[in-house]
Chain A
């Protein structure tokens, strides 16, 4: 009985550990350049400013607004991931995994808030996922060409 309890506790802890490490490894992927800023500007996403304020001042905005901002950015980016310059119109393997990771971190943010454990770490993880999504969208959009023009050139010439 004791062994089973031990296995249950350790396995659960290791499950979350491996899940987190796998997601962090995917998030550490290097892009050839930072695409996220242009995507964030074009879609008025707020996660870069949120991240900056958190890194510079260490204090986030009020909690309900923060949740709303993260949620809106997440919805916008997942929509773009699926529909912007995506021929298959479906998420890739790692995107599905990161969506799950985002939801888990979002839940952990609420729990941290409830237990007064400090939310900054969870917020930074959430913004890292959003940044990755924005980079992927940016890279895809950049790769699409309209004739001799890239998507960005095409939009500028309109």
Chain B
């Protein structure tokens, strides 16, 4: 009983913060500047509302809920990838040369994951919505996590003055690392009840953690317009 109440609290606080952040971004007219965040938050909210509707209509153990859950997970991970892409773009807004190389690496990483996933799909056609979907989501989450970590390292390397982006990246790291670990645990335990409920709680907690960090970053930290980096500027000129 207590755990289900805690789960509801986590779930609904997540919705409230997501909606609140979207309203705040709209209110302060940051639609264009924070388009990555708005896109991801909208995807998250739509996916979660769809899941909640399916949960109430069909029940937790129904096949319909299972399909809705994993079907919404795929676009959600894709939007996560797009978010990381847009963060990379923001980090390299003053470095067109660097952005051209990074864009190629990102495209290659996406194709690689798609290729590996397609190979796994061809071997698991009969169990598309069972272990495969968990593994597929886990791989994509992990790829986004690795890319996000590379972005974090890049920000340190170029000594970025965009404090807000640094915090947003940390929030994304929390959001991706938790679910990747939880889904890996779920996969390793072959869908044990304990691991599944733990994964569900961790995913909600991490989303809430990301929203809290983002909330702070958006409301308290100003995004820098110009990336003042004399060291990198010199390197680029050379």
Contacts and interface: CB of A to CB of B under 8 A. Distances in A.
Interface of A: 1, 4-5, 7-8, 10-12, 14-15, 17-19, 21-22, 25-26, 29, 92-94, 96-97
B160 interface: no
A4 B166 contact: no
Interface stretch (B3-11, B51-59, B77-85, B210-218): B210-218
Interface residues of B, number: 32
Interface in B34-69: none
Contacts of B25: none
A7 B182 CA distance: 10
A97 to B, nearest CB: 5
B185 A93 contact: no
Interface string B159-200: 000010011001101101110110011011000000000000
28 contacts: A1-B188, A4-B188, A5-B184, A5-B188, A7-B184, A11-B177, A11-B180, A12-B177, A12-B181, A14-B177, A15-B173, A15-B174, A15-B177, A15-B181, A18-B171, A18-B173, A19-B209, A21-B152, A21-B170, A22-B171, A22-B213, A29-B220, A93-B213, A93-B216, A94-B212, A94-B216, A96-B212, A97-B216
Given A14-B173, A22-B171, A8 B220 contact: no
Interface of B: 17, 135, 138, 142, 145, 149, 152, 163, 166-167, 170-171, 173-174, 176-178, 180-181, 184-185, 187-188, 206, 209, 211-213, 215-216, 219-220
- 5 nearest interchain CB pairs? A18-B173, A15-B177, A11-B181, A22-B170, A11-B180
A26 B216 contact: yes
Contacts of B170: 18-19, 21-22, 25
A92 B215 CA distance: 9
B177 A8 contact: no
Contacts of B180: 7, 11
Among A5, A10, A14, residue most surrounded by chain B Cβ atoms (within 10 Å): A14
A12 B188 CA distance: 15
Contact of A8 (B17, B167, B184): B184
Contacts of A7: 138, 142, 180-181, 184
A35 B140 CA distance: 46
Contacts of B149: 14
A29 B157 CA distance: 21
A17 B149 CA distance: 10
A98 to B, nearest CB: 10
Given A1-B188, A8-B185, A25-B170, 10 more contacts: A4-B138, A8-B181, A12-B181, A15-B206, A18-B174, A21-B170, A21-B173, A22-B167, A93-B219, A94-B216
A8 to B, nearest CB: 4
Nearest to A17: B173
